[in-house]
Amino acid sequence: MKPSKKVLVADDDAAIRASIKSHLTYWGYDVREAVDGVQAIEEVSKDDFDLVICDGMMPNKTGWDVLREVKSNPRTRDVPVIVMVAKKDEPDIFRGYELGAEYYMSKPFTKSQLLDVIRFMLDEGGKTMIQRRNSN
């Protein structure tokens, strides 16, 4: 049996974290949680994740701060990041992509949308799209 992919879910809304964790655990992913950007950055600095999902607007440090930290660290820069936001605002979308986000999701989203995106990010062989691109 292959080891499960490790995913960090960072959102200040406990209900959203619980829902995402429940779905991802059911689908076989190892899920860790962070209640804000500070905790997310701490988690990423001490553990290896295959994917980070974070809310754009969190207290203390935002999801944008988390994204910036993940992408600026040589150890974690290839970890794909999905940014979730409550509003679908073009400047936020462009900001996320400029900072290195691999995907941008508007809340609310369905569990099938979430699964499709995660399967898109993490393929069967365990390589992320970024790692595949960098190996060519």
What number of helices (H) and strands (E) belong to the chain?
6, 5
Q: What is the pTM of this model?
A: 0.84
Domain ranges, ordered by start, for the chain? 6-135
pLDDT value of position 128: 47
The architecture that CATH gives domain 6-135 is: 3-Layer(aba) Sandwich (3.40)
pLDDT value of position 76: 95
**Cα first-last separation, the chain:** 28
pLDDT value of position 88: 66
pLDDT value of position 135: 59
Mean pLDDT for each 10-residue chunk of the chain (136 residues)?
Answer: 81 95 92 96 95 92 93 93 79 73 86 86 54 56
pLDDT value of position 125: 38
